[in-house]
Amino acid sequence: MAVLVCAFLNLALGALWYSPLLFYKAWMKENNFTDANVKNVNPAKTYSLTVILSLIICYNLAFFLGDAKTDMMWGLTAGFLAGFGFSALIFTVIALFEMRSWKYILINGGYIIIYFSLVGLILGAWR
């Protein structure tokens, strides 16, 4: 159940992170997107694939946090380390070769780190 909750957290956090309240305008600018680009997205395809991929991500992290000694703090720490130490850094390497801006890297890398940290926190607390 925790993995399912964490998978849907991806949608909720993404909705906030990439909303006009936070980084929508900067994210749009860094990707050279227009409102027309965003309207052409197939929401059924995008959201269903997002949930499937998020389930895999969360199950994978849950597998590593399966020890009986796992608690909320270790979950948060492990989530942060996975988000920053693996995911955001390889994302940054790819973005550098794509000649993306640091703003682009920080917006998306920040999302990755926050998401993984929250997933680890939830999985650790759920134990």
| Residue pLDDT tens, the chain, 127 long | 999 999 999 999 999 999 999 999 999 999 999 989 988 999 999 999 999 999 999 999 999 999 999 999 999 999 999 999 999 999 999 999 999 999 999 999 999 999 999 999 999 999 8
Tell me how far apart the 2 most distant CA atoms of the chain are, in Å: 49
- The pLDDT value recorded for residue 1 is 95
Among the residues of 1-127, which ranges form H helices? 2-17, 24-30, 35-39, 43-64, 72-80, 89-97, 102-126
Q: What's the pLDDT at 80? A: 98
CA distance 93 to 89: 6
Q: Yes or no: say if 53 and 3 are a contact pair by the CB < 8 Å rule.
A: no
Q: What is the pLDDT of residue 22?
A: 98
Q: What is the pLDDT of residue 127?
A: 84
Give the CA radius of gyration of the chain.
Answer: 15
Phi then psi for residue 62, to 5 deg, are: -60, -35
Range of the domain at 49: 2-126
pLDDT of residue 76: 98
- Structural domains of the chain, count: 1
Do the beta carbons of residue 82 and residue 99 sit within 8 Å? no
